[in-house]
Chains A and B, each alone.
Chain A
Amino acid sequence: MDSVRFDEAPRIASTKIIVAGGFGVGKTTLVGAVSEIVPLRTEALVTTESVGIDDMDSTPDKATTTVAMDFGRITLSNDLVLYLFGTPGQRRFWFMWDDLIRGAVDAIVIVDTGRLEDSFSVVDYFEAKKLPFIVAINEFDGGQRYTPDQIREALAISPGIPIMTIDARERESAKHALIRVAEFALEQLTATSRIESA
């Protein structure tokens, strides 16, 4: 059996970036724009009891609910695969977030300026978990335009956290957001650990 070796750390073969935001904000669109596969869907089963009583009026007592996550894959090199997980950001799904963000390096919070209130809880969550994240404002055609500064003030986002505008449908735009969040994660790590960039 190929057991774990303790004398040397095995080379990490896969990693993930979390793509968070409210329903319909463009998470799966962004994942699909850069993924090399059509986004797949996986589901976690939860009982409504653990989900909480709000927003669940439509399901019977003790029903089991599935929470769906759409994800994509990017092969970055012959020995590293990146997965992008798009996940619902509502507070009632936080119980599964602890499992999902374990091992994540960073996250992108997609914001729809028409529904800023959907983004509060996600921002709070990542700040509490100290997971590096950036805010990406998805600019839909005809959507109401706000400046990043207005969004920062409205969502009470700390000054150091990058805010950018994206078009989640565009591959280059999605790619740029992934690069930005990875750069930010590296900056954060370097600032706290004093590792010199190679």
Chain B
Amino acid sequence: MGIDPPDAPVADVDDGDSIHVASIVRPYALTKGRTAPRVDLPVEATIEVVSAEKVGDDIGRSILDLCAAQNPSVAEIAAQLRQPLGVTRVLLADLVDVGAVSVRATLTDRATDRQRHDLIERTLRGLRAL
């Protein structure tokens, strides 16, 4: 994956047909230049707080506050922090590493057909009840 720290203006492509150029402050400064998380963090994975005492830095505490309020997904945390997904994943992986948060289960490549079946049935039940 060609993910690099940005060093130039970015083009923001949205669902409309507009493209505009915005400026952002080097996001990977927050991760000290690291771009690869050590924990598997799918965009839909939800995060819960395990121990809030293990985190001292501001960005880590911001994430913990978000997680304590609503068990958000990786994508929601990225959106709330206004950070790219890659940056958010590195920051979250750090919190997993120190035991501050845990990642709730999602469907993985290793899932059995039975697990897939159960998940889709639960999804259908929920959708039909909306």
Contact = CB atoms under 8 A, between A and B. Distances in A.
21 contacts: A2-B50, A12-B115, A15-B123, A16-B44, A40-B80, A43-B84, A64-B4, A66-B10, A68-B13, A68-B15, A74-B127, A76-B129, A83-B43, A83-B75, A88-B15, A102-B109, A103-B42, A179-B127, A179-B128, A182-B127, A189-B116
Nearest to B42: A103
A67 B13 contact: yes
Interface of A: 1-2, 9-16, 23-24, 27-28, 34, 40-47, 49-51, 58-60, 62-71, 73-74, 76-77, 80-83, 85-86, 88, 95-96, 99-100, 102-105, 175, 178-179, 182-183, 185-186, 189-190, 192-193, 195, 197-198
Nearest to A88: B13
A189 B115 contact: no
A14 B50 contact: no
Given A1-B99, A42-B85, A105-B107, A65 B121 contact: no
A103 B108 contact: yes
A193 B113 contact: yes
Contacts of B1: 46, 50, 95-96, 99
B55 to A, nearest CB: 14
A93 to B, nearest CB: 9
Given A45-B3, A64-B10, A23 B119 contact: no
Contact of A13 (B11, B21, B46, B85): B46
Interface residues of B, number: 64
A183 B120 CA distance: 8
A182 B120 contact: yes
A12 B17 CA distance: 36
Interface in B101-130: 102, 104-109, 111-117, 119-130
A100 B89 CA distance: 13
A94 B121 CA distance: 29
B114 A195 contact: yes
Contact of A43 (B8, B44, B85, B112): B85
Given A70-B15, A175-B127, A186-B120, 7 more contacts: A1-B50, A12-B106, A46-B3, A66-B84, A81-B46, A103-B109, A182-B120
